[in-house]
C-alpha cells in the first residue's frame, strides 16, 4: 500500500493525472478473499505478450494457421522472456529464471534453441524423430 504526499497547491494525488511523491510503502500479506485486487501485473504481461508476439495479431505474415505452431511460438517466447531476457525491474541484471533459482546465468539464444530441440516431443509416426534442418553454432561463428 503506497501513501502519496499532496502537492504544494493542496490538490489531492487521486485527482491529478499523475500520482504525487511516494512518502511511505507498507507491505502486508493478503489471505482469503481480498476486497481489492489489482490486475496491473497480469494486464502488463498480457500487453507485453501481444506487443512482442506478432503471431497473436491476425493480419500479419506470422499468423499461425495451426494450433501446434501457435503453441510452439508462444512457448518459445515465454522461455526467452524468462531465461534469456534480463529484466530491469529485478534490479540485479538477472532473468526471472535466475531470480527463482532455476539457472545461474542468462541463457544465450543458442542454449535456448538447443534445450528446445533436445526436449521436443517425438512423433511416433516418424521413424527418425523430429527434423533438424539447422544446427546451433555457439558464438555465432562457423
Residue 1 counted as domain residue: no
Total domain count, the chain: 1
The list of the chain residues with pLDDT below 50 reads 13, 127, 129, 141-142
String of b and e for 93-107 (b: at least 16 CB within 10 Å)? ebbebbeeeeeeeeb
The set of cell numbers assigned to 94 is: 538477472
Query: CA–CA separation, 106 vs 15, rounded Å?
Result: 42
Residue 5 lies in a domain: no
pLDDT at residue 126, as a whole number: 56
**91 in a structural domain:** yes
Give CA torsion, residues 2, 3, 7, 9, to 10 deg: 130
User: Distance between CA 136 and CA 75 in Å, rounded?
Assistant: 19
pLDDT tens per residue, range 34-70: 777 778 878 888 888 888 887 776 666 777 778 888 8
Q: Judge whether 43 lies within some domain.
A: no
**Domain encompassing residue 68:** 57-140
Q: Which residue has the cell 528446445?
A: 116
Question: What confidence score (pLDDT) does residue 56 get?
Answer: 74
Question: Tell me, what's the pLDDT at 107?
Answer: 93
Amino acid at each position: 500500500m503506497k501513501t502519496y504526499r499532496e502537492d504544494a497547491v493542496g490538490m489531492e494525488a487521486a485527482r491529478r493525472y499523475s500520482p504525487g511523491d511516494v512518502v511511505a510503502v507498507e507491505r502486508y500479506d493478503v489471505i482469503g478473499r481480498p476486497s481489492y485486487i489489482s490486475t496491473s501485473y497480469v494486464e502488463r504481461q498480457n500487453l507485453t505478450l501481444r506487443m512482442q508476439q506478432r503471431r497473436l495479431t491476425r493480419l500479419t505474415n506470422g499468423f499461425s494457421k495451426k494450433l501446434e505452431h501457435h503453441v510452439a511460438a508462444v512457448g518459445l517466447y515465454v522461455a526467452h522472456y524468462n531465461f534469456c531476457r534480463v529484466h530491469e525491474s529485478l534490479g540485479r541484471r538477472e532473468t526471472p529464471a535466475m531470480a527463482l533459482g532455476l539457472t545461474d546465468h542468462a541463457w544465450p539464444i543458442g542454449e535456448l534453441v538447443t534445450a528446445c530441440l533436445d526436449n521436443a516431443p517425438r512423433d511416433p509416426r516418424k521413424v527418425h524423430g523430429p527434423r533438424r534442418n539447422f544446427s546451433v553454432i555457439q558464438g555465432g561463428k562457423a
